[in-house]
Amino acid sequence: MTDPQPPFDQDEYRRRQRERARIMAILLLAFVALVFGITIAKMGLYE
Amino acid sequence: MQNAATDMPRYPASAADLFALTKPRVMSLVVFTALCGLLAAPETIPTVLGFTAILCIAVAAGASGALNQWYEADVDAKMKRTRGRPLPAGRMEKRTALHFGVGLGAFSVLLMGLATNYLAAAILAFSIFFYAVVYTVWLKPRTPQNIVIGGAAGAFPPLIGWAAVTGDVTLLPVLMFLIIFLWTPPHFWALSLFVKTDYDAAGIPMLPVVAGNAATRRQVVIYTLPMVAAAIAPWPLGLTGPVYGAASLVLNAVFLWLAIRVGMNKAEDPAAMGPEKKLFGYSILYLFALFAILTLDRMFFA
């Protein structure tokens, strides 16, 4: 006999979605800052 | 948590599980050796470009780890050491791991090309292909020499770090590649001697499983010899100064002594494999110390 499945937890589903969205937002902002830094550094290389 | 009807996880993969897919512990050695290659190069690049190069190498290593876990999910489920990973534990869909790995890999190669140069990006792309396809798909399930060729995948980071700065590849980064390449077999075979039963259960043809302990111990000693030669070579070739020369002599003498003790050990019981455990532990310290001293020597003394 197998254990019954616990009920689907909508709040847990939403919590994970929010967690991933928050991390993605932080990573995208960091990426924008990095590309800005790369651009400035590259401009300096060719001056 | 699985969905009974579809056998799929019912919740999106957590950030912690996605991070675990990248094998963060392996990444620390990759980042370190890449940084050594970057700092040992005879030129310099702006800090932000150097940071980006290291970031790309780390992300590419993460991509390789994710693709490896995607392909090996069934094998991982059979080993005690790996059955708690996100895929065999059923906390993530296989498709998620595939998309994550391919996405990270493409991102790292494109960013490397844009930030540094296309040679570094090309070697980076090849290193992902080498680990995910040549090692994971072709070699690991087929040949007990899997670790030998697979070791090349872990040896690329210093080469890429160097290429990111100079745009070319010369003798020293090739020697750094060779050191890691030749270090990998004795390092992993020492481990596989005392965790043999785990690989056995998963059907992975690791050398101790296929050829036995005696043959594996002999191979540990055999591979240590060219590794020692490659590790000392930068000094007599004039690529480093006497600080590295002296340190590498000591570090390699200890490695060789520990490898010979493994070669002389006859134990079959993992509990009596003290020399193997010592060599495995020392091999990690050895690589960190050797690369750190090589880099410091190049930066300050050479």
Adjacent-strand bridge partners of B2: B9
Please provide the size of chain A in residues: 47
Looking at residues B107-123, what average pLDDT do you find? 96
Sort out which chain A residues have CB atoms less than 8 A from B62's CB and list them: none
pLDDT of residue B101: 95
Looking at residues B100-126, what average pLDDT do you find? 96
Sort out which chain A residues have CB atoms less than 8 A from B49's CB and list them: 38, 41-42
CA distance B174 to chain A (A): 27
Residues A13 and B159: their CA atoms lie apart, in Å, by 43
CA distance A10 to chain B (A): 9
For residue B151, pLDDT beyond 70? yes
Supply B209's token pair. Answer: 């499983």
Sort out which chain B residues have CB atoms less than 8 A from A42's CB and list them: 49, 115
Which of A8, A19, A34 is facing B14, going by the closest CB pair? A19
Name the residue of chain B whose CA is nearest to A24's CA. Answer: B15
CA-CA distances (angstroms) from residue B206 to B145, B148, B274?
A: 8, 11, 20
- Which among B3, B6, B11, B47 is the top mutation candidate for probing chain A, defined by the most A β-carbons within 10 Å of its own β-carbon? B11
What percent of chain B has pLDDT above 70?
95
Q: Which residue has the tokens 């990973």?
A: B85
DSSP per position, B60-104: HHHHHHHHHHHHTHHHHTT-TTTTTSTTTTTSS-HHHHHHHHHHH
Q: Would the CB atoms of B46 and A20 count as touching at under 8 Å?
A: no
Q: Note whether A37 contacts B: Cβ–Cβ < 8 A.
A: yes
3-class SS of residue B2: strand
pLDDT digits (tens, 9 = 90+) for A11-31: 888 888 888 899 999 999 999
Q: Smallest Cα–Cα separation from B91: which of B147, B20, B181, B196?
A: B20
Q: What is the largest CA-CA distance in chain A?
A: 73
Burial of B7 (C-beta count, 10 Å sphere; 0-12/13-18/19+): exposed
Name the residue of chain B whose CA is nearest to A43's CA. Answer: B46
Sort out which chain B residues have CB atoms less than 8 A from A19's CB and list them: 14-15
Supply A35's token pair. Answer: 């590309």
CA-CA distances (angstroms) from residue B263 to B217, B229, B271, B274?
A: 5, 19, 17, 12
pLDDT digits (tens, 9 = 90+) for B52-105: 999 999 999 999 999 999 998 888 888 877 888 888 888 888 899 999 999 999
Question: Model ipTM?
Answer: 0.80
CA distance B116 to chain A (A): 9
Q: Are A19 and B15 in contact (CB under 8 A)?
A: yes
Sort out which chain B residues have CB atoms less than 8 A from A5's CB and list them: 3-4
CATH architecture, domain B14-166: Orthogonal Bundle (1.10)
Q: Smallest Cα–Cα separation from B164: which of B102, B230, B130, B114?
A: B114
Instruction: Select, from the ranges B28-42, B184-198, B258-272, the one with the highest average predicted confidence (pLDDT).
Output: B28-42
For residue A4, pLDDT beyond 80? no
Residues A37 and A32: their CA atoms lie apart, in Å, by 9
Supply B13's token pair. Answer: 């993969």
Query: A36 falls in which pLDDT band (50, 70, 90)?
Result: very high
Name every residue whose Cβ is closer than 8 Å to that of residue A27 and which is 6 or more positions away in sequence: none
Residues B33 and B30: their CA atoms lie apart, in Å, by 5
